[in-house]
Amino acid sequence: MFKILVATDGSEHARKVVNDVIKIAAPIKAEVIVLTVEDWTAADRDAGAKAKDAVEKAVTAFKENDITVSPLIRKGTKRAADVIIEVADEENVDLIVLGSRGLRGVKEVFLGSVSHRVVHMTDKNVMVIK
């Protein structure tokens, strides 16, 4: 079975990514893993709740379209991109899908884009949704 890893951060753009993956996964009956990386360095005390909410919304959308889906939340003790790559390898996915931008905003401009790092550091197929 074709396996897709969808990385989400709960942003508006990430919801668009989920909608685009539904269009891909449904016809081929792919299995989807929805991943969010909880930022353990965040001063935001609600980081865990936000991560759970992001995954739950994405999982609901896939289930509503009869797509087999598994939720996964990882605490990020390293870069989000590195966690995404690690999970993709562990789960032996066929495709990683993520957005070109998310909640990190200006911080990402200076530190390097998650999608850019994933594209260049994995041997898996990657789709970046604009």
The structure's pTM equals 0.88
Angle (nearest 5°) at CA 33 between 73 and 42: 25
Q: Residue 91's closest CA among 130, 48, 124? A: 124
70 backbone φψ class: left, alpha, beta (φ>0; ψ -120 to 50): beta
Mean pLDDT of 64-79: 91
CB 87 within 8 A of CB 8: no
What domains does the chain contain, in order, with CATH numbers?
3-129 (3.40.50.620)
Q: Retrieve residue 48's tokens.
A: 């865990």
Mean pLDDT of 64-77: 92
| pLDDT tens figures, 61-70 | 999 999 999 9
| pLDDT tens figures, 25-66 | 999 999 999 999 887 665 556 777 888 999 999 999 999 999
